[in-house]
Structure 1
Amino acid sequence: MKEIVQRFCRKRMSVVAGVMLILIIAACAFAPLYVHVDPLKQNLFNTYARPSAEHLLGTDNLGRDILVRLLYGGRSSLAISFSGVLSGTAVGVILGVIAGYFGGIADTLISRLIDVLLAFPGLLLAIVVVAILGSGESNTVVAIAIFSIPTVARMVRGEVLKIRSADYIAVCKVMGESSARVIVRHVIPNAISQIIVNVTLQLGTAILTTSALSFLGLGVQPPAPEWGAMLSSARDVLRSYPLPAVVPGIAITLVVVCFSLVGDGLRDALDPRLKNA
C-alpha cells in the first residue's frame, strides 16, 4: 500500500484532481449541515439576480439560489452515478468471473450478451432503458448500472482468464479447494486493482450520462436540483444571462476531468509492471 501511494503521488495532476474530488464530494454530501436554504424555495421578485453577498452565484429564473441548487444537484448527480456504477460493477464482476473461470457454455452466453450491450453507445443504451422503465432517479440508476455492466464484465473476464492459468491456481485445485473458495480468495483479489481503476473511470462517464438524461427530461425531474436539469432550464436565457447554465456546466466538466485524472493515476499506481518506474 505504501508503494502504491508513493507511485500515485508522483502523478501531481492526479493528486490535485483527487483532492478536488474529495472537496467537491464532501461539499455536496454535507450540504444540509451547513446550507440552511431550501433549494426549491422560489422568489419571483428576485429572479436572475447578480452574484451578491446573499446569493454568491446569483439566482435563476424562479429566484432560487444557484449555489444552493448546485450543491444539492451535486448530491443527486453523484449519488445516482455512484449507485449505478457500483451496482453495474457488482453484476459485471459476477458475470466476468463466471465467464472467465468456468468457460464453456456460460462463457459463450455471457460473451454474446456483452457483445449485444456493447453494440449500443452507452448514452443510447441508457436512453432506451429509461424510455422503457420511465423517468426518475431510481430508473436512472438502473440505466447507469446496465450500461456499466458490459465494460466491467469484459475486463474482468480477461483478467480472470490470465489468473486462471497461473500456477498457484493449479496448486489450489490440487489441494482440493472449491471453485468458490479459489474465486473469493485468489481470483477476485488479484483482479481488484483493475476493477478499482475501471470504477473510477466509469464514474466520470456516469456523471455525463446522468446529466445528459436529466437535460433531455428523462432523468431527475424538475423542480428537483440536478446539474443536467439545471442546464436544461437555463438554456433559453444562455445569451442574456449565462450564469445559471455556466455554473453547472463547469461543475460537470470539472468532476469528469478529475475522475479521469484520478483513474489514470490509479492505473499507473496499481500496475505492477510500473513498480520500478
Structure 2
Amino acid sequence: MAAATRRHSVHSVLCLHARKVVMPDTLTPDTMLHGRYRIEQLLRSGAKGAVYLATDAQAAAKTVIIHESTDPSPEAEARFEQEARVLTSLEHPGLPVVIDYFIEPDGRRYLVVEHVLGITLEEALRREGPLPEAQVIAWCDRLLSAVEYLHARRPPVIHGRVSPANILITPDGTPRLIGLIDAGEEAPGEGPGARSDDPFTAPEQASGTYDERSDIYSIGATLYAALTGRKPPSPAERAAGVELPPLRRFRRSISAAVEAAVLRAMSLDPDQRFPGVSAL
C-alpha cells in the first residue's frame, strides 16, 4: 500500500506490473477454494488472473464473485494483502461488499465479492438511449456519495475507472459503483488510465498521475454519456483539437446548470475542475 500521505488507486496495487507474466490455467467448475467456495463458471480472464462465479458453502450456497490474481512478483503478493485489508474494510451502500480474501498454497490470490444482480449503465444506454435528467441526477447522488466515501479514506482511494461500464443498476433501480476490483485482468501497461483513448479516463491518468480530480473527470464523462446517449471525445482526441460538444446541442431539455457542471468536471486541466466531489 502507498504511504499514508500518498493517494493511491486500488488498481495500482492489485494490478501491479509483473516482471514476468504467466498465463495460468483457469479453474474448472466444482473446484473448491479455501474449503468454502465452489467454482461454478469462469466469467472472464486476462493476462494475470480471472473472475469466477462461485457459491459459498458457508452461506446457504449464496453466489459470490471471485477475483483471482496470479501475478508472480513477490511485491504483488505483499501489496495484495495490504490492499485486501483496505477493500474488506469498505462499507458503503453504493459499493459491493468484499467478503473475504486468501492466498492458496500455489500462490494464487483471491478476493471474494458479493454477487450483485443488475445491468450496467452502459447496457442501459445501449438499450434505451439517453436517460431523463431527473433519473440521472438521482443516480448521480448515489454515485457521488460512494466516490466521496472512497476519497475520504486515509490515504484516499482513487477509483480510477468510473464509467458507464462500471455502474451497475440493480433490479430495484439502485446504482452501485463496481470496477474497483479487477485483479489480474490487465496485461502490463494497462493499469488505471494507461489508455488516453478511453473517453471516460482523465487525461493525466495516461502518464500515471491521478488524484481525486481524476475521478471527477470520469464522473463528468459518465454523466455526459448518460444524458446525451453519446460517448464524449477521448482526452487524446480533445488534445488533438476535437471539440467537446455542449450537451444541449444534442438535447435541449438538459438544464443549463447541469450542462455547465458536466463540462467543468470534464476540464482537461485538473485545476479547472471541481476541487472535490462535494463541490460537484
**Which category of TM-score, normalised to the shorter sequence, fits these structures?**
under 0.3
TM-score, normalization by structure 2:
0.23
Richer in helix (by share): 1
> Structure 1-normalised TM-score?
0.23
Q: Which has the higher strand share?
A: 2
